[in-house]
Amino acid sequence: MKRAIYPGSFDPVTLGHLNIIKRAAAMFDELIVCVSVNSSKSAGLFTPEERVELIRKVTEDIPNVRVDCSRELLAAYAKRNRARVLVKGLRAVSDYEAEIQMAMVNAKLYPKLDTIFLYTSPKYAYLSST
C-alpha cells in the first residue's frame, strides 16, 4: 500500500489545502492529513481537535483520506505510520526554500522518507491560512 502524509497546521483548512488533498489522494492508496501541533507556536484560531474535525468534514467524500493529529516529530510520525512519502504544497519560491530544508532534515531522521512538492493551483496561490 502506498501511503503518504500531508502535514500542516491547517488553521483553518483552506480551499488551497483541499486542492492539494484531492490531488495527492489521487496519487496514493491512502493519504493521511496530519494536523501537526507545534508547541512553540501560538494557539491559533482553532484547537487541533477542531481542525481535525473541519478537515474530516471537507474530505468526507474522499474515501482514501484519513485525518489525524500529532505532536511528535514528523519523521517519527511517518515511520510509526509506515508512510514513505510526505506531500507538501507550495505557493511560491519562498515556500520551496523553507520546505526543502525541512525535507532534508526529515530524510536524515528517516532515510526511507521522501518529500514531494505539489504546486498550488493558480487560483489559490494568494490564499493563506494567516
In tens, the pLDDT along 77-127 reads 999 999 999 999 998 888 899 999 999 999 999 999 999 999 988 777 765
Annotated catalytic residue: which of 9, 17, 36, 88?
17
Annotated catalytic residue: which of 23, 66, 84, 91?
91
Strand order across the beta sheet in which 114-119 lies = 65-70, 30-36, 3-8, 85-90, 114-119
pLDDT of residue 44: 83
- pLDDT tens sequence across 34-90: 999 977 677 789 999 999 999 999 999 999 999 999 999 999 999 999 999 999 999
Q: Are 111 and 80 in contact (CB under 8 A)?
A: no
Q: Rounded to an integer, what distance in angstroms lies between the CA atom of residue 60 and that of residue 25? A: 12
Decide if 36 is catalytic: no
Annotated catalytic residue: which of 2, 41, 108, 112?
41
Q: Rounded to an integer, what distance in angstroms lies between the CA atom of residue 39 and that of residue 1? A: 32
Decide if 112 is catalytic: no
Decide if 40 is catalytic: no
Four-residue CA torsion sign, 118, 67, 57, 10: negative
Decide if 123 is catalytic: no
Annotated catalytic residue: which of 23, 56, 66, 129?
129
